[in-house]
Amino acid sequence: MNTIKGPAIFLAQFMGEEAPFNSLETICQWVADLGYKGIQIPTWESRLINLDLAAESQTYCDELKGKINSCGLEITELSTHLQGQLVAVHPAYDLMFDNFAPQALRNNPRARTEWAVKQVKNAASASKRLGLKAHATFSGALAWHTMYPWPQRPAGLIDMAFTELATRWIPILNHFEECGVDVCYEIHPGEDLHDGLSYELFLEKIKNHPRACLLYDPSHFVLQQLDYLEYIDIYHERIRAFHVKDAEFNPTGKCGVYGGFADWKTRAGRFRSLGDGQVDFKSIFSKLSQYGFDGWAVMEWECCIKSPEQGAREGAPYIQNHIIEVTKKSF
């Protein structure tokens, strides 16, 4: 067993135009003052990291770590959620996802995909230089539009989509293998890897690549009505990253899992600040500790009601109170 590291915080939802949210130095001091010990860095946020330079320069990486360490913080993982999404985009979503790419690559799906692949590979190289062992990302999606099929999916369509998804990811996974870093896919609606069965199908296509691991986030399982505790029992050997994010599911006679096109505040499934939702974090921390998870507990905030500032203030002590100092004794 291992004692989970933390508390840490994912900075993606906190960056902004006003201090202290507009620079690496000021946001690091802010989260450190709140009691956090680690930060997960979104690599598309240029105010936090120059990803291309980090992939090439050990000096830059040493200086970046030094700035962060001077605030009493560590880097937990780098994130390429947006770039990973762009590794595989069905044409139906081209317009929506173009906003994740540089302006010069929009309306050019092939160039956008090539850029995304290079970005994720750069994150592997940067992670190696920073001494990190895990990386957070999305798989992208070629088949999500067929998730609830009507008419029924043509025979072989899913096999074809996952074969192509594997073809795109295998060279990336191989580069992560060379760098000694795990790719941690966040299992998430909207991605082809959105539950256990879809993850297993992907593993089959990539021949159980050892670097194809998991970012565990129970909030997405609450919204899908998936058993998030049994999920740990099944996949604990592949879980190498952990988002501590709360959620609730309150179905009505008018609205269920699919949300009825309602906004975030009126859907049956909603993300909430830590402690305000329905996730059983006591059992989650117990199971992850039991199975020897030795990564970070990283708060991700996306609450539809509470402010990010309050969510961040409350998040650090909440996580700290759930971290289990594992016993070394047997009775």
Nearest to 187 by CA among 146, 232, 148: 232
- Asked whether the beta carbons of 269 and 325 are under 8 A apart, the reply is no
Q: What is the pLDDT along the chain (331 residues), one digit of tens a residue?
A: 999 999 999 999 999 999 999 999 999 999 999 999 999 999 999 999 999 999 999 999 999 999 999 999 999 999 999 999 999 999 999 999 999 999 999 999 999 999 999 999 999 999 999 999 999 999 999 999 999 989 999 999 999 999 999 999 999 999 999 999 999 999 999 999 999 999 999 999 999 999 999 999 999 999 999 999 999 999 999 999 999 999 999 999 999 999 999 998 999 999 999 999 999 999 999 999 999 999 999 999 999 999 999 999 999 999 999 999 999 888 7
Q: What is the 3-state secondary structure (H, E, C) of 136-184?
A: EECCCECCHHHCCCCCCCCCCHHHHHHHHHHHHHHHHHHHHHHHCCEEE
Contacts of 189 (CB under 8 A, 6+ apart): 220, 223, 224
- Position 329 scores a pLDDT of 86
Nearest to 78 by CA among 37, 33, 119: 119
Q: Which domains does the chain have, with CATH numbers?
A: 5-322 (3.20.20.150)
Nearest to 64 by CA among 156, 122, 127: 127
Cα–Cα distance, 254 to 266 (Å, whole number): 11
Residue 48's H or E segment, with its range, is none
Identify residue 82 by its one-letter amino acid code. L
User: CA dihedral in degrees (245, 246, 250, 254; nearest 10)?
Assistant: -30
- Position 330 scores a pLDDT of 83
